[in-house]
Homo-oligomer: A and B are copies of this chain.
Amino acid sequence: MQKIRTDLAIEAHEMCSKEKAEKNHLDGIDVEEYKNGDVFITRITVTNEKGSEILGKPKGNYITLEIPNLKYSDEAYQSACQEIAKQLETLIKITDKTKTLVVGLGNKAITSDALGPKAVSNLVVTNHIKQGNDFLGDSFSRVCAIVPGVLGTTGIETIDIIKGVVEKTKPEIVIAIDALASRSMDRISNTVQISDTGINPGSGVENRREGINEAALGIKVIAIGVPTVVDAATVASDSIDAVLANTNERIKELGRDKIYSLLAKSVGNMMVTPKDIDSVIEKASKTVANGINLALHKDLTLSEIESYISY
């Protein structure tokens, strides 16, 4: 049973292959790997129910782009944009008449979950212009976009908001963008997964009970995701492997310092924070500031002090 959490088919496949020691030859799973300039492409196709069960993912195509230099090189960034477009075109057919609804999933107030909302704010949205006196011409297809929010802030299942909007706007395709969990820090920020299976229960940073997929919406759903977090248990579990790989001794007999220095090598650069770090910082900074305010302006009450602060 696959327990370690990952939203990436490429990682699920690595784990299965390792267990079975027969990479690229799992029944019902085809794998193709190639390189295009700065971008490494892995295309995993789940062709039957057997493959689906092994991988823990529905039948369909899972394209992973790895761009190690994305953060550092403008060329790599440009190649990544081009390659995403090219791979999307292998999954969907777009003409200037096509109407697409892009859905930015996730919580924009939580940095690591804000990929979808932020991506939507960079889209060229055209549907309202093409409905009227279309001065944009044939280069542009019909694009609309929503940021539905998350269950915790809307009180509504995300799929219900999407269904409602799909019924009113009648797009031919939905593209859903979401932040993913990876099992490796190395993939964060430089890996893009594109899939034609949509988003399915149990995956994503926020679990969703019903999938955001063709079964639910009646139209093709493309999912695009980027890993932005690794869960701490995965890091810890990998760390134990790292320690074991570097010692023949009983782990209990290693000193704390020895263990720590082995670990520092494997995960030294990362930070662990609560998921709601953004709101935590708001509260903590207000608490500290008001403690200082009360000490420095002695005769004022907390509520008087708060009325002097504009935010």
Contacts and interface: CB of A to CB of B under 8 A. Distances in A.
A244 to B, nearest CB: 6
A292 to B, nearest CB: 6
Contacts of A112: 271, 273, 277, 281
A72 B307 contact: yes
Contact of A124 (B102, B276, B309): B309
A310 interface: yes
B244 A252 contact: yes
Contacts of A298: 94, 96, 139, 141
Interface in A182-214: 185, 188-189, 192
The 6 closest A-B pairs by CB, nearest first: A84-B291, A164-B164, A127-B155, A236-B239, A144-B155, A122-B289
A120 interface: yes
Interface of A: 1, 3-4, 70-74, 77-78, 80-86, 88-89, 92, 94, 96, 98, 100, 102, 109, 111-112, 114-116, 118-129, 138-149, 151-157, 160-161, 163-169, 175, 177, 185, 188-189, 192, 224, 226, 228-237, 239-240, 243-244, 250-252, 256-257, 259-261, 263-264, 266-300, 302-311
Given A111-B281, A231-B270, A269-B274, A81 B294 contact: yes
How many copies, total? Answer: 4
Which of A127, A230, A272, A291 neighbours the largest number of chain B CB atoms within 10 Å of its CB? A272
Contacts of A115: 281, 284-285, 288
Contact of A80 (B73, B129, B291, B292): B291
Contact of A271 (B231, B263, B283, B302): B231
